[in-house]
Structure 1
């Protein structure tokens, strides 16, 4: 159970709901029924073993959030999935009805176990794939698709000098081809990081600037590029979202374009499927595309 405020609402509720259902419990210290349902919800969060996340919002202290959800009485619980409210209820329901509410929306337990098993599968032979791409580029230097994938593979293992060299023939096309511009953005991030000395100290320096001024977008952008260079891709995109939530067009769209650049670099090749079927999206990439859309279009 996590206490949510306006400051951490985006990360703990909206962002979290992209990968896991989030149940928001609006309560207040003076509310008697709140003291009844609160422990029940905490018990169920433990019993459901990660099938949903419970957060609590003090409606007295966080009136802006309560107003945004149209809270008229407490306790009120709202379930969010993929950044959007999908259902809710008011009052202190008994445990049986709470379970019925949750079971109506949450993925079955066996489905969760299947997802965990998939995550534990061995990763593909990255070195073998890299060698195949290298051979493809050597055989046909004009094959931009193979070159794009080759540069991506090099960036994913932080082999910057080789990535820059392989990217050379694509560089003149970067202004007109988004995927090639994406490679350039990530290369720029890694080059920037290479000039900043010790990685941990460089990030700490930007943290200090951000702590002093949350709207120091230069510091946030620098921090995001440092994180990208460390291949902490999702952390880097989270930082870029902090800029976009405050200024969507900052610095000629630098934050948005770098965010897209990271997505294009980390997105794995689509698996082959039967004719007429649509290959599944990578879950991390799909989640962060939705997060970008929700911020940019809001």
Structure 2
């Protein structure tokens, strides 16, 4: 776990230049009047709790000499220091995943990333109990992290804990764009697993829906979409518009740019209208 400190002209050499010989130092040149700076600050402070690095915050109005030395013309201006030298940086506000990529390029790996790798290794070794304990430990430390929530939901679905998976995914809101689409897709996968366990194929529609659910679980997405489309074409009322909802779940899982999404979204529109 890293630390976050305020740095000025007097301690810059010690806290940044010398310290960067021991571990990477992320210097955030900011101004109190800068709106984007206030957006970026909590993001950087959150990240530093995961990575073994130092976040050094420099107010350019209080330390114009440092801003001048390092060519700061606009804020926020973030610079990465290693061995006393600037090795990378960016100006403005980047999305969190892009900042994580920059940190990875410095050879840094977060505690959460190490934990997720350990979980993947436990799953590969068919050791679900170890994976479950590790998930519980990480959820205590990073309860709001969307990558962890999505990974945890996948694990719960694999373990047959469908209601728990759906409850976990409910924390992700529609405003969260890509994460929300993935969450909706995973909720659909949980519902497919439930359907396989619960539905007795008493009718042709039951059989079509179950075939689609099994194909979706097997990641044969085209076959799944084909079966669900047949359900839509035959009876919109089946399972409370279940065929259409199943297709939408797969669209969210595949993404808007996927060829299958685009092709079957057109076919769905034709079936509906």
Answer yes or no: same fold by TM over 0.5.
no
Which of 1 and 2 has higher RCO (CA within 8 Å, sep 6+)?
A: 1
If you compute each CA radius of gyration, which structure gives the higher value, 1 or 2? Answer: 2
